[in-house]
Amino acid sequence: MSISEAADDLKALCGRIQETIAAYAGRIEYGNLRMGKVDDWHHASEGPVTNVALVYETPGGSTDQINITYHHKTRVFSLVDVDFEGGEFTTPSIDALIERIAARVAGIPDKRKEHLRGEIQRQLDSGMTTTGVVGHLNRMMNSGLRGGTMTHLEMRDAMSFAVTYLKDRNFNASGSG
């Protein structure tokens, strides 16, 4: 494999990623999704490897990534994907890779919602009052971190979840369930 072939593959990949995320990039409900760092290194047995990271945040500011690795020697792309058998999707096809990336990007709002619900549940289970939870949600909504903040719809869902969770918890604790 020549250096120019690897460069062409990576240039094509990055261009396709930019096209794929363009409609979602910078939007709060997608965690301020953006193309992150592109790193190169040399693996002892596999030769040159390039990592491309798509970065986004969940409410509260936790950073998450979608990582794509390109193995120059074999011209194969790898994507860490827990939904795929073995936890890693590998392919020489940019089209197949972009399809998996698009699915992961489409799932970011649901991942953000689950993260937020888990945080609310942990806070309520640890004894935080509803007033404390509402205050915490308001601080997140007004956070200076674009991707770590919440949309009004995420706030509405979080509040609905907190109320339902408390009702269910109190119902079960009273022995009525």
pLDDT digits (tens, 9 = 90+) for 123-169: 999 988 888 888 888 887 777 666 678 888 998 999 999 989 888 87
The whole-number pLDDT of residue 174 equals 63
Cα angle: 94, vertex 57, 162; to 5 degrees: 125
pTM (two decimals): 0.84
Nearest to 56 by CA among 142, 100, 115: 115
The three-class DSSP label of residue 88 is strand
Contact present, 155 and 141 (Cβ < 8 Å): yes
Residue ranges covered by each domain of the chain = 3-108, 109-173
Report how far Cα 171 is from the mean position of its chain's Cα atoms: 34
Q: Which of 44, 26, 45 is nearest to 35 (CA)?
A: 26
DSSP, collapsed to helix, strand or coil, labels residue 136 as helix
176, pLDDT greater than 80: no
Q: What is the pLDDT of residue 142?
A: 76
